[in-house]
Chains A and B, each alone.
Chain A
Amino acid sequence: MDIVESFSYLGNILTLTNLLAMTLGVCVGLIIGAIPGLSPPMAIALLIPVSFKFEPATALILMVSCFAAGIYGGSFSAILLRTPGTSASAASAIEGYELTRQGRAIEAIQISTFASVMGGIISGFALLLFSRPLAEVSLWFGPAEFFLIALLGLTAIASVSFGHLSKGLISGLFGLFLSTVGVDHFSSFPRFTFDTIGLQAGVGILPAIVGLFAFAQGLELCEGDARGNISGLKSLSWRIWPKFSEMYKLRWSLIRGWACGLVVGIIPAAGASIAQWIAYAWEIRRAKPGDSFGKGEIKGLAATEGSNNGVTGTSLIPMFVLGIPGGISAAVILGALSIHGLQPGLRLFKNNPDVIYTIMWGFIGANVIMAFLAIIMARMFAYLTLVPRGVLGPLIILFSVVGVFAGTNNVNDIWIMIWFGVLGYFMQKYNFSTAGVLLGLVLGPIAEDGLRNLQTISDNAPLSFIMGRPVSLIILACIITILSFPLLRRRSERNRSL
């Protein structure tokens, strides 16, 4: 792949059609990503019929723009309402919502906007310039690595559970267990369904994320003084785009977040969900005296927001180069590629370089457009923090129900969502990690397939098989390192107090 050649296609995105495609994709992605119950893959799927009118490059620009904006859109509701629109924004809810409660919602949105836009642009250049070598990295991951990556994600979440490591791990394990509910796709044997038809298809991620975060948050907002608002503010400032000097102070947190996103995003299937937690755990590991992680620390938010958009470009690399989707959104985009007569792989770069490079430039351009649209959309969403809690709570509950029903058209999923909502409400009260449950649910199928295949290819000797694979050993070392963070932190706090 000629880097100089790729720059020659930059001008292709400056046509009116492509600019409109980017703008439409970003608008749809921002709105749908922000609403709990709706998701970027849904938004991308909705745009497929719209894309039939366009040339293949324009159609795919529309999809990837929606994908990039959907992840950032999920951060709005995560930061402002603690109801992440996507699972990729769950980590941002921790510090972002605390900032909102302190009346610093606009500051949080500023950091999120900068980190996400720059993360997306950097990730887009990684996609454009380094697709082939980075694609080979994704081939290093086999069953053992996928199983260990799932464990890595869960330990990362557990390590950021602020003094409740065991509760964080138990939450993750509970999510892993919930992922086994339903008919086993290997043997078609129902597991833990208790003869209930509604559980035969398993526990969906959509009802889980809406229940654990949105519905639970709706219940929490109904507590206490109904007339107060979340932030305690009476008005908001207009400035959404931050000052460069403010972002310069956060440069190392941003760089660590972007780096996590770029590297972890290459891992097929698991990257987007765990990148944010690894970035967050890394940031906490580097906490200095005076940092207030868990209580509104902007460095934590900068890292998670940088990573969740830093993932977007690199997560498309396995899809474009190898035909292996990096997640559900990439799988939908892969489908759109086929519909428009394009087959992923190195042949796409050889036979249609104008198309593929234009799409990649379109992805970068969409992130730039997102920076401008964010000013309008973020302000609109930020008004929600001025709405009285007693109004917002029932409204969020209503949107939770309609979002799940619109997404799945299945009333059983609404009941599952409510069940998760009650569970999430009590989990938050007693310091269990709702994000751990969600991540366990997301990573469960990856972990199980990895574990099963690992048993087969290692002849039931998984440990010795893992010991013989360098990438597995690296991941294992990362797991041990991350698990040691809370213990080391506790020891250093004890030494400091002595």
Chain B
Amino acid sequence: MYVYVGNAITALGIILVSIYIWIASEEFPADGDQLPKFTAGMAILISMFLLADSFRNRNNKEKISIDFSYASKKQYVILLLSIAFVPSIFAIGFYTSAFLLLVLGALIVGIRSFKVIALTVLISLPLMYAFFELFLNAQLPKGLLI
């Protein structure tokens, strides 16, 4: 897909969302609609400039490149791991989940040195305990394990 097409689609999307915001704001009482309508109105105006600009640059044949290799997708796997991490800190405990996140995360992104992974875990988890639990008195969740 060309970049100018991507920009045009983005601009149209923003216009549609802004129209929704404007309509949804109509029911807000006590002038609660002012700022949402202001932002929606300005967004529509600016998106029209963006739309016009994208068509003005339609001779620019720069394309949005999409890389399907694993190396370019690792961050999405880490994102899924992070999403799974959140409920797990309450289920199995914060430190156990953190240990798994650090180890699995490093392996997923390509770190193969167990010495590096072990050092990271041995330094960061006690530091977190000392700083957050002892100094800040923030009780980190405990589940089935620590």
Contact = CB atoms under 8 A, between A and B. Distances in A.
A405 B101 contact: no
Interface residues of B, number: 56
Interface of A: 38, 46, 166-167, 169-170, 173-174, 176-177, 179-180, 184, 186-187, 189, 191-192, 215, 218-220, 222-227, 388-391, 393-395, 397-398, 401-402, 405-406, 409, 411, 414-415, 418, 422, 425, 430, 444, 447-448, 451-452, 455
B144 interface: no
A173 B79 contact: no
Contact of A391 (B14, B106, B128): B106
Interface string B76-118: 0011001101100110001000100110011011110000110
B32 A189 contact: yes
Given A167-B50, A176-B39, A402-B140, A397 B30 contact: no
Given A222-B74, A401-B85, A394 B32 contact: no
B128 A402 contact: yes
Nearest to B139: A409
Contact of B138 (A409, A414, A444, A451): A409
Interface of B: 6, 10, 14, 21, 24-25, 28-32, 34-36, 38-40, 42-43, 46-47, 49-50, 53, 71-72, 74-75, 78-79, 82-83, 85-86, 89-90, 94, 98, 101-102, 105-106, 108-111, 116-117, 120, 124, 128, 132, 136, 138, 140-141
A394 B140 contact: no
Given A169-B42, A425-B75, A402 B132 contact: yes
Given A186-B30, A418-B86, 14 more contacts: A169-B46, A176-B39, A219-B75, A220-B75, A224-B71, A226-B109, A388-B111, A391-B111, A394-B78, A394-B106, A397-B105, A418-B82, A452-B31, A455-B34
Contacts of B82: 215, 397, 401, 418
B71 A184 contact: no
Given A167-B50, A187-B29, A226 B35 contact: no
Contacts of B25: 191
Contacts of A447: 35
A447 B39 CA distance: 11
Contacts of A414: 86
A388 to B, nearest CB: 6
